[in-house]
C-alpha cells in the first residue's frame, strides 16, 4: 500500500474538511457554502462514500482530501501530503535523513540571522537603515511582516552572534551568511546593508537580499545558490501573495523588494517580485498553478525593457505550456510604467493610479511586436526579415487560430508589408491548429478495458499509468493531451504527476521541480517497459487511453451529481445542479460522437 492510500484509509474526508468549513448532513452527503468562492446557496458537496468533494457552483471542480488541502492551505502536493500524513500518524520516508537534517539546520540558522538583523535595525546602529525605510513610506507593521533588518558593519558581528548561540558556523557558511576570505578568516557576507529576508512557499527564510545604504555598488547583493535557495526559481513574497493571487485570479510581477512591500502595505497583496529585470521560466512555473493571468510591470526606460524583452520569449513558452490539460489559457500581460517611476513611487502617490496601470496592461504580443520591431531596421528588407523571423515562431505557437490571424495581420502592418508578402517571405505557415490522428487501428494500444479501477488493482491504475509512462518516454507528444484535465486521473499521485508534467513541459524541468514525495513514483514509471507501444503508435494509443479516462471521469461526475441531490420528488432542480447535469451530458455525447467518428472500419 502506498503512503497516499495509507493516509486515505486513516483519514475521513468529512472530518478533514469539517476542520475548515462547517458541513451539514444532506442525505448521503454533506453540504456547505464553498470555501473557495463567495455564495449564498451551498453548492459544495462532500461524499463520505466516495471520499471526494465537489463544488457545483462557480469553481466547478472537485477532488479528494489531498487537493482540498492543497487548494485551501495554498500549498504544493508534497506539503499537503506531509500535513495529512502527520494528522494520520503515517510516516513519510523520502530523502536521506542527512539531507533533511542539513536543510532544516540551514533554515534555522537563516531564521536566527533574520532575527539578529531585525534587532540591529531597531538598535542605534540601524538608525540610517530605519530612516531609509521611513523615507520610503515603509511602516512598522510592514517591517515586522517582512522581517526587515540591518546587517551591521564590522564583518564579524553575525558570526560572533551565531557562535555565542553555539550555531553550526559551517552550516551558516553553506547558507550564504558567512564566507572565508583569502587568508582563511570566516567573515560575514552581508555588512552595512538593509536586509530583506526571502522566504520560501512555506514561510521559511531561504535567503536574503541586501541593499547598500551609502550609494556603493552593487546596490543589491543576494544570497548565492544554496541547498535551500535558488534566486532563479524564487519569487519574492509569493508565500504572502499566493492567496490573493488565487482570489483575484491575477499575479502582478514587479522587479524589486520595495515595490512588493509598498504594494502589500497598501492592500495590493497579489504582487510578487522577480528580484531582477529578467523573468525566468522557473519563476513563471511558480505562478502558473495559482492564476490564469500574469501582469509583468516594466520600467519605461529602454534598457529595462530590452533586458526584459530577452526573457519574455522563455516566459511566453512557459505560459503557453499551461494550455495542455487546462480549460483556461494563461494570459501574460505587460504593464509599462511611466518613465522615471517605480511601482512603489506610483503606489505611494496614488493606489488608484497603480490599479489603472495594472488594469490597462496589454497582451504580451501587443507589447512584443512593436518592441521587437524597434530592435531592427525596418527600412531594409534584411531588417524586416529578421523581425519576422523572431516573431513568427511565437505567433505560430499560439493555440487560438483567431489570435494567430490577428497577430499575423498586426505583424504585417508593423513591417509595412501585405499579408501575401509576409506569407511569401517566411514560407507556408500553420495558422490553425491541426489535429493529427492516425487513420485505423494501431499496434501497442493501451489496456482495453473501459472499467479499469484503482480499487480493483490495489495501488495501481494501469490505464492512468500507461498514459504517464508514454508521456514520460516521449515528452514531445504532450500536445496530444490538449483538452484533457488532471481531474480525469483518479489516483492522487498520478493526477499530481500529470499536473506537474504539463506545467514543466520537459523531463529535465519536471525532475528539477518534482516534489520528493513523487520521486519514487516517477522513477518506477520511467523505468517501466511500455512495449509493444512504439513511437509511431504512441500518439493514437495515448489519445485512446485519455479518451477512456475522460469517459470514466464524466461518469464519475454523473454519479456525484445524482448522489448530491437532496430534493423532494418532482421538485425543480437547483440551477447549478441542472447546469452541471447538462454540461456532463454534453461532454459525454461529444465523446461518444468523436469516438464513433474515429472508430476504425472493420
Among 151-160, 333-342, 508-517, 541-550, the least confident range: 508-517
**Residue listed under C-alpha cell 520600467:** 299
**CA–CA dist 214, 219 (Å, integer):** 9
Output the CA–CA distances (angstroms, integers) from residue 298 to 330, 357, 362, in the order listed.
19, 11, 12
User: pLDDT tens digits, residue range 453-504?
Assistant: 322 334 578 888 999 998 988 888 888 887 788 888 988 888 888 888 887 7
Q: Are strands 331-336 and 61-63 parallel, antiparallel or unpaired?
A: unpaired
| Cβ pair 44, 34 in contact under 8 A | yes
The reported pLDDT for the residue numbered 236 is: 96
Architecture field, domain 103-229: Alpha-Beta Complex (3.90)
**CA–CA dist 98, 166 (Å, integer):** 20
Beta bridge partners of 194: 150, 211
Q: What is the CA radius of gyration of the chain?
A: 27
The reported pLDDT for the residue numbered 457 is: 35
Which residues in 112-122 are b (16+ Cβ under 10 Å) and which e?
A: bbbebbbebbe
Which H/E stretch holds residue 568? none
Nearest to 232 by CA among 159, 145, 314, 344: 314
Beta bridge partners of 209: 196, 222
The reported pLDDT for the residue numbered 111 is: 97
- Which residues are within 8 A (CB) of 124 and not within 5 positions of it... i.e. 6 or more apart? none
Nearest to 287 by CA among 338, 248, 344: 248
The reported pLDDT for the residue numbered 433 is: 34
Q: Is residue 423 over pLDDT 90?
A: no
Q: Label residue 301 by pLDDT band (50, 70, 90).
A: low
| Cβ pair 582, 422 in contact under 8 A | no
**CA–CA dist 488, 176 (Å, integer):** 44
Give the start-to-end residue ranges of the domains of the chain.
3-88, 103-229, 233-373, 381-426, 462-598
- Which residues are within 8 A (CB) of 184 and not within 5 positions of it... i.e. 6 or more apart? none
* DSSP label of 42: -
Q: To the nearest whole number, what is the mean pLDDT of the chain?
A: 81
DSSP-H helix ranges across 140-181: 140-145, 157-164, 169-174
| Cβ pair 547, 481 in contact under 8 A | no
Longest dimension (CA), the chain: 87
Backbone angles phi, psi at 7, to 5 degrees: -65, -45
**Residue listed under C-alpha cell 505583424:** 411
Output the CA–CA distances (angstroms, integers) from residue 541 to 33, 196, 391, 448, 481, in the order listed.
41, 52, 34, 10, 11
User: pLDDT tens digits, residue range 250-283?
Assistant: 999 998 999 999 999 999 999 999 987 567 777 8
Give, in words, the CATH class of 462-598. Answer: mainly alpha
The pLDDT > 70 percentage for the chain reads 80
Q: Is residue 450 over pLDDT 50?
A: no
DSSP states of 227-247: TTB-GGG--BTHHHHHHHHHH
Nearest to 454 by CA among 531, 533, 381, 549: 549
Output the CA–CA distances (angstroms, integers) from residue 455 to 85, 169, 243, 459, 462, in the order listed.
21, 51, 34, 8, 11
pTM greater than the 0.95 cutoff = no
**Residue listed under C-alpha cell 516534489:** 515
The reported pLDDT for the residue numbered 172 is: 96
Burial class (CB in 10 A: 0-12, 13-18, 19+), 597: exposed
Q: What is the rounded (10 degree) CA torsion for 293, 245, 199, 279?
A: 10
First to last CA, the chain: 42
**CA–CA dist 499, 510 (Å, integer):** 10
| Cβ pair 525, 496 in contact under 8 A | no
* CATH T-level assignment (fold) for domain 233-373: Dna Topoisomerase Vi A Subunit; Chain: A, domain 2 (3.40.1360)
The reported pLDDT for the residue numbered 123 is: 97
Beta bridge partners of 61: 55
Q: Is residue 524 over pLDDT 60?
A: yes
**CA–CA dist 242, 240 (Å, integer):** 6
User: pLDDT tens digits, residue range 193-234?
Assistant: 999 999 998 889 999 999 999 988 899 999 999 999 999 889
**CA–CA dist 93, 232 (Å, integer):** 28
Which CATH code for domain 3-88?
A: 3.90.580.10
User: pLDDT tens digits, residue range 112-170?
Assistant: 999 999 999 999 999 999 999 999 999 999 999 999 999 999 889 999 999 999 999 99
The reported pLDDT for the residue numbered 316 is: 57
User: pLDDT tens digits, residue range 42-93?
Assistant: 889 998 888 899 998 888 888 899 989 988 888 888 888 988 988 888 877 6
Which residues in 282-310 are b (16+ Cβ under 10 Å) and which e?
A: bbbbbbbbbbbbbbbbbbeeeeebebbbe
| Cβ pair 564, 45 in contact under 8 A | yes
Beta bridge partners of 560: none
- Which residues are within 8 A (CB) of 227 and not within 5 positions of it... i.e. 6 or more apart? 99, 102, 103, 106, 174
- Which residues are within 8 A (CB) of 382 and not within 5 positions of it... i.e. 6 or more apart? none
Amino acid at each position: 500500500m502506498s503512503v497516499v492510500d495509507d493516509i486515505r484509509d486513516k483519514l475521513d474526508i468529512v472530518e478533514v474538511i469539517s476542520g475548515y468549513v462547517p458541513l451539514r448532513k444532506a442525505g448521503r452527503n454533506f453540504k456547505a457554502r464553498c470555501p473557495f468562492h463567495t455564495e449564498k446557496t451551498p453548492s459544495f458537496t462532500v461524499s463520505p462514500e466516495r471520499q471526494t468533494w465537489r463544488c457545483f457552483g462557480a469553481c466547478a471542480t472537485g477532488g479528494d482530501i489531498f487537493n482540498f488541502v492543497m487548494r485551501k492551505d495554498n500549498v504544493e502536493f508534497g506539503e499537503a501530503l506531509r500535513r495529512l500524513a502527520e494528522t494520520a500518524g503515517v510516516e513519510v520516508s523520502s530523502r536521506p535523513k542527512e539531507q533533511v537534517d542539513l536543510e532544516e539546520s540551514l533554515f534555522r540558522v537563516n531564521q536566527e540571522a533574520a532575527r539578529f538583523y531585525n534587532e540591529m535595525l531597531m538598535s542605534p546602529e540601524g538608525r540610517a537603515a530605519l530612516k531609509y525605510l521611513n523615507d520610503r513610506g515603509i511602516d512598522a507593521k510592514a517591517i515586522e511582516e517582512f522581517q526587515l533588518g540591518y546587517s551591521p558593519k564590522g564583518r564579524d558581528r553575525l558570526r560572533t552572534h551565531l557562535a555565542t548561540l553555539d550555531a553550526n558556523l559551517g552550516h551558516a557558511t553553506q547558507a550564504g551568511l558567512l564566507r572565508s576570505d583569502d587568508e582563511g578568516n570566516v567573515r560575514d557576507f552581508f555588512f552595512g546593508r538593509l536586509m530583506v529576508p526571502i522566504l520560501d512557499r512555506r514561510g521559511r527564510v531561504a535567503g536574503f537580499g541586501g541593499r547598500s545604504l551609502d550609494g556603493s555598488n552593487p546596490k543589491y547583493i543576494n544570497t548565492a545558490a544554496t541547498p535551500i535557495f535558488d534566486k532563479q526559481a524564487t519569487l519574492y513574497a509569493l508565500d504572502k501573495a499566493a492567496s490573493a493571487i488565487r482570489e483575484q485570479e491575477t499575479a502582478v510581477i514587479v522587479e524589486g523588494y520595495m515595490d512588493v512591500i509598498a504594494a502589500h502595505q497598501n492592500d495590493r497583496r497579489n504582487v510578487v517580485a522577480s528580484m531582477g529585470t529578467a523573468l525566468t521560466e522557473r519563476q513563471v512555473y511558480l505562478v502558473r498553478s495559482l492564476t490564469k493571468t500574469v501582469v509583468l510591470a516594466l520600467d519605461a526606460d529602454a534598457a529595462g525593457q530590452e533586458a526584459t524583452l530577452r526573457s519574455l520569449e522563455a516566459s511566453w513558452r512557459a505560459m503557453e505550456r499551461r494550455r495542455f490539460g487546462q480549460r483556461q489559457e494563461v494570459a501574460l500581460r505587460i504593464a509599462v510604467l511611466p518613465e522615471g517611476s517605480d511601482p512603489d513611487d506610483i503606489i505611494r502617490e496614488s493606489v488608484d493610479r497603480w490599479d489603472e496601470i495594472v488594469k490597462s496592461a496589454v497582451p504580451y504580443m501587443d507589447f512584443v511586436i512593436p518592441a521587437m520591431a524597434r530592435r531592427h531596421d525596418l527600412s531594409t528588407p534584411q531588417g524586416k526579415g529578421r523581425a519576422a523571423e523572431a516573431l513568427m515562431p511565437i505567433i505560430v505557437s499560439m493555440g487560438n487560430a483567431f489570435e494567430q490571424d490577428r497577430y499575423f495581420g498586426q505583424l504585417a502592418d508593423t513591417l509595412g508589408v501585405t499579408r501575401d508578402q509576409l506569407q511569401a517571405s517566411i514560407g507556408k505557415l500553420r495558422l490553425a491548429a491541426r489535429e493529427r490522428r492516425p487513420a485505423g487501428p494501431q499496434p501497442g494500444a493501451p489496456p482495453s478495458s473501459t472499467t479499469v479501477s484503482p480499487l480493483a488493482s490495489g495501488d495501481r491504475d494501469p490505464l492512468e499509468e500507461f498514459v504517464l509512462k508514454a508521456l514520460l518516454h516521449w515528452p514531445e507528444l504532450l500536445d496530444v493531451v490538449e483538452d484533457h484535465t488532471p481531474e480525469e486521473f483518479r489516483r492522487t499521485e498520478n493526477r499530481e504527476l500529470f499536473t506537474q508534467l504539463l506545467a514543466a513541459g520537459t523531463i529535465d524541468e519536471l525532475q528539477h521541480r518534482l516534489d520528493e514525495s513523487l520521486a519514487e513514483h516517477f522513477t518506477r514509471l520511467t523505468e517501466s517497459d511500455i512495449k509493444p507501444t512504439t513511437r509511431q503508435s504512441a500518439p493514437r494509443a495515448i489519445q485512446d487511453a485519455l479518451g477512456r479516462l475522460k469517459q470514466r471521469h464524466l461518469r464519475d461526475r454523473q454519479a456525484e451529481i445524482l448522489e448530491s441531490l437532496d430534493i423532494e420528488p418532482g421538485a425543480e432542480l437547483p440551477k447549478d445542479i441542472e447546469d452541471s447535469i447538462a454540461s456532463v451530458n454534453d461532454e459525454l455525447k461529444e465523446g461518444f460522437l468523436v469516438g464513433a467518428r474515429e472508430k476504425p472500419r472493420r
